Structure 1
């Protein structure tokens, strides 16, 4: 999936998770939480030097890409555990929002990439690819539709939680 689809997925996942975890109440904590959700939705593509996050971390991205390849370790359970571990080391007033947002975003990224023809190696280092029975090609018109649906879902969830207080 492309970056914009992952961003919409991360925002929707963070909004959905917010309903389950009784997320942040104050505006600054909400902004950090949703920002972390968006960042988390892009982080797994650290293994792709031409992705948005790969371009921002060129040296690390190239090292991860050459060492592990694309959609392996950064698209696995190990990356989720690593994200939780690193975020638990943070000592800020926003630590829970950062951790919860990042994890929601990372999980959304893995789910979306599992919906592509290439799938992901979720059990890495075991070389088994996971792919949804219903999948699409990255950059296709179907992906554009998925991105639009995720945008509508994110807006609806955010409106429900923050405007209508349902």
Structure 2
């Protein structure tokens, strides 16, 4: 999937997590939570030097790409475990907001990429690819529709939570 679809997925998943767990109440904690959700939605593409995350970490991205390939280690349970481990080592008032925001975005990224024809190697290093039975090609009109649906879902959830307080 493309970056904009991942961003919409990250925002929608963060809003959904916020709905389920009665998330952060104060504005600063919400900003950290939703910002982390957006960041987490792009982070798994560290393995792709031309992605947003890859361009921000050029040398690291090239190393990961050459060492592991695309949609392997950063699209696996190992990446999710690394996010958990790293965020568990933080000690600030925002640690939980950062942790759950990053996780919601990263997991949405993996789910969306599992809905593409290439799928993901979730059990890396086991070379088994996971792909949804309903999948599409990256950049297709179907992906554009999915991105639009995710945007509408995110906006509805955010409106429900922050405007209508339902």
What TM-score results when the alignment is normalised by the length of structure 1? 0.99
Residue 159 of structure 2 is aligned to residue 164 of structure 1: no
Query: Structure 1 CA distance, aligned partners of 2:139 and 2:118?
Result: 13
Q: Does 1:74 align with 2:78?
A: no
Structure 1 residue 19 displacement after superposition: 1.3
Structure 1 residue 163, shift from structure 2 partner: 1.2
Output the CA distance in 2 between the equivalents of 1:82 and 1:6. 20
Deviates more, 1:87-96 or 1:105-114: 87-96
Residue in 2 aligned with 1:137? 137
Distance across 1 between alignment mates of 2:82 and 2:48: 18
1:79 is displaced (CA, Å) by 0.5
Map residues 116-127 of structure 1 onto 2, 5 A cutoff: 116-127=116-127
CA distance in 2, matches of 1:90, 1:160: 31
C-alpha separation between the residues in 1 aligned to 2:78 and 2:14? 20
Q: TM-score with structure 2 length normalisation? A: 0.99
1:45 paired residue number: 45
Cα deviation for residue 88 of structure 1 reads 1.0
Q: Distance in 1 between matches of 2:78 and 2:20?
A: 23
Pairs aligned (count):
166
C-alpha distance in 1 between matches for 2:112 and 2:41: 10
Q: CA deviation at 1:107?
A: 0.3
Q: Deviations over 1:49-81 (max 9, x none)?
A: 000000000011011111110000000011111
Q: Distance in 1 between matches of 2:92 and 2:141?
A: 41
- Once the two structures are superposed, what CA deviation does each residue of 1:99-141 show, in whole Å capped at 9, x if it has no partner? 0000000000000000000000001010100000010000011
Structure 2: 5+ residue runs without aligned partners? none
5+ residue gaps in structure 1?
none
Aligned-partner Cα distance in 1 for 2:21–2:63: 35
2:64: which partner in 1? 64
Query: In the TM superposition, what is the alpha-carbon distance from 1:11 to its structure 2 partner?
Result: 0.3
CA RMSD of aligned residues (A): 0.6
